[in-house]
Structure 1
Amino acid sequence: MAKAPYRPPVPGPAFIRLLAGFADGPLPTTSPDISDRLSQWVDWNRAVALSRALDGRLPPVAPDAPVFDSAEQAECERVRAVLVAAITAPAEGKRTLADDPAAHRQHCVTLQRAMQAATGRLRGRLRDMLAHLSPELARLAEVDAVMEQTLSPREQSLLAAVPALMGQHFERLREAALPAPTAGDTEEAAPSGPSDGWLARFHQDMQDVLLAELDVRFQPIEGLLAALRPR
């Protein structure tokens, strides 16, 4: 069985480290400067909108926004638990899907869409609650809205590459698990296909990646929750 080449550890969040382990080719030894990277993502129109949100007059407090309470906190926890359960649910028809990388990629896409929809709803609702509390927190909600509009297209473009990357990882694991042919093998007595061990590893790897992606998607929500919780 072929062994994967050694890769030095990659700095960064768990999500980045996991994906880096599945990538082909050399990896950078240092993370790019965040300010340089943001300058490539934020065009001048978005930069002006962000500047206005940061430096303009404090926005008025919204009179009819929903109020944050323990039930809202519990709802955020419930939504996250539902997504975790969907990601960690036992894969159905493992043998049937073993030779179908497209099915695994589609499964990954489906879970990503569920995460995007659920976290988007939560984020918008929490911003509405912030806008109800004070002019300062209303400004924070406005800044978060601009940041979401600015960074979401780039974020979704990058996350859309995950299913394809996992598909490549699937192919490498399957190929590495195939028994090496020997000189005495004939067409009738060719080595059997790969065992299920590689597939179990793939399922675990994809689960780990999706859970790490969920953590990334919940970071803005955790920030809004921290601002909403009473001091």
Structure 2
Amino acid sequence: MAQHTGRAGLTGTALVRLLAGMGDAPQRAGEPCAAFADGLVQWVGWTDAIALSAALERPAASTVNPQNRYAGEHAEYERVRATLAQAIGRESQAAGRSPLEAGMGFAPYRQCYVARQQAMGVALAALRERVRAALAACGPDAARLAAVDAVLAQALAVQEQRVFAAVPARLEKHFQRLCAAEAGPDAFRADLQAVLLAELELRLQPVEGLLEALRRHTPSGCT
């Protein structure tokens, strides 16, 4: 899958920086990022490598479609991104405010975070599949890139889920520190929203890579 050059590497993502900043004590530059990112590298096993090799080497049965698919797919990307971001803002600011949630501690915030993660997972999987299909229709080389992305998505799914599932626990520790410091709940809601938005940006990167590949394989001037 083509890399989106406008994005920072994993250790430079906003999600990593935010979570590192919520630690108990300051650490030397680079250490928090490296520690958190350690679980996101070296994930492709030998069986996945075989599938990747096959995706790269097999002839791609695709014919060139001269239609400009990029504009439509990019518009859908912007729509999905905006919808998810708006839901994050709305739900994170509503978390913990209900009278029924009073005295429940971190539980309402955990429920909010996990629900938003699930929503992101469903929406972005469908978006990624859609953009991948558009790329696959742009010729043999593009179809090969789409096939590689499909293999990578499957190979990394379990590991990605494990890492993202650990974020609420990190937030809970931050919540407890804020409570001990007698910080107001609005301060934590702001942090909750910031971390969710950062996770959204991280989850969007594979789609952005596909969109960049689609742009490069779209005939200029076509509509």
Which of 80, 84, 94 is the matching residue for 1:91? 94
SS of 2:12's partner is coil
Residue 105 (str. 1) matches residue 101 (str. 2):
no
Residue 43 (str. 1) matches residue 49 (str. 2):
no
Q: Any stretches of 5+ residues in structure 1 without a counterpart?
A: 1-10, 178-196
Cα gap change, 1:92 to 1:26, in 2 (>3 Å): closer
State the 1:218 CA deviation. Answer: 0.5
Structure 1: distance between partners of 2:155 and 2:167: 21
State the 1:37 CA deviation. Answer: 6.3
Residue 218 (str. 1) matches residue 204 (str. 2):
yes
Residue 53 (str. 1) matches residue 73 (str. 2):
no
Cα gap change, 1:23 to 1:58, in 2 (>3 Å): farther
Match of 1:19 in 2: 19
Which of 163, 167, 187 is the matching residue for 1:201? 187
Of the structure 1 ranges 16-25 and 109-118, higher mean CA displacement relative to structure 2 is found in 16-25
Deviations 1:73-129 (A, max 9, x none): 222211111100011113156274463211110110000000010000000111111
- Contact preservation (8 Å) 2:95, 2:189: no
Match of 2:4 in 1: none
RMSD: 2.8
State the 1:32 CA deviation. Answer: 4.4
Match of 2:178 in 1: 173
Match of 1:186 in 2: none
Within 5 Å, give how 1:116-155 maps onto structure 2: 116-155=121-160
Instruction: Give the residue type in structure 2 aligned to 1:44.
Output: W
Structure 2: distance between partners of 1:59 and 1:28: 48
Q: Any stretches of 5+ residues in structure 2 without a counterpart?
A: 1-10
SS of 2:41's partner is helix
State the 1:160 CA deviation. Answer: 0.4
Structure 1: distance between partners of 2:167 and 2:60: 38
SS of 2:181's partner is helix
Structure 1: distance between partners of 2:184 and 2:39: 39
SS of 1:99's partner is coil
Cα gap change, 1:134 to 1:63, in 2 (>3 Å): closer
Instruction: Give the residue type in structure 1 aligned to 2:97.
Output: K
Structure 2: distance between partners of 1:57 and 1:26: 50
Cα gap change, 1:62 to 1:145, in 2 (>3 Å): farther
State the 1:42 CA deviation. Answer: 1.7
Percent identical residues: 45
- Contact preservation (8 Å) 1:58, 1:136: no
How many aligned positions are there? 199
Cα gap change, 1:104 to 1:115, in 2 (>3 Å): same
- Contact preservation (8 Å) 1:98, 1:199: no
State the 1:35 CA deviation. Answer: 10
